[in-house]
């Protein structure tokens, strides 16, 4: 089965704005998604008919969420190491 990952970009009232790995955005009613959503939550969603996400299959993927956080932290640490510091001169 083919899966896609979506991250919760923001929660707006009864809706969740999700961003897929390809950059596509979807707005879904929170009631149709797993409990426990917060900004940054990563969902694993199976593809259903017509190669579209089957939102009823969405599950929170904490391992993928942690992997992404580690990767982002590594990138920030690398940027900090290569930053010469000081004021910006134009």
Among the listed residues 39, 40, 30, 33, the one whose alpha carbon sits nearest the alpha carbon of residue 55? 33
* Closest by CA position to 42, among listed 75, 66, 26, 24: 66
Residue-level pLDDT at 30: 95
In what side-by-side order are the strands of the sheet with 3-12?
25-29, 15-20, 3-12, 42-46, 59-60
pLDDT tens digits along 19-49 = 999 899 999 999 999 999 999 999 999 988 7
Task: List the CATH code of the domain at 3-82.
Answer: 2.40.50
pLDDT exceeds cutoff 80 at 7: yes
Residue ranges per structural domain of the chain? 3-82
DSSP bridge pairs for 42: 7
Report pLDDT digits (tens) over 55-81: 999 999 999 999 999 999 999 888 888
**pTM as predicted:** 0.81
């Amino acid at each position: 089965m083919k899966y896609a990952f979506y991250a919760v970009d923001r929660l707006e009232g009864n809706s969740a704005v999700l961003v897929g790995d390809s950059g596509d955005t979807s707005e879904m009613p929170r009631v149709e998604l797993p409990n426990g959503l917060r900004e940054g939550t990563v969902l694993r969603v199976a593809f259903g008919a017509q190669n579209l996400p089957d939102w009823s299959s969405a599950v929170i993927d904490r391992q993928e969420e942690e992997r992404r956080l580690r990767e982002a932290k590594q990138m920030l640490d690398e940027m900090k190491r290569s930053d010469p510091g000081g004021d910006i001169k134009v």
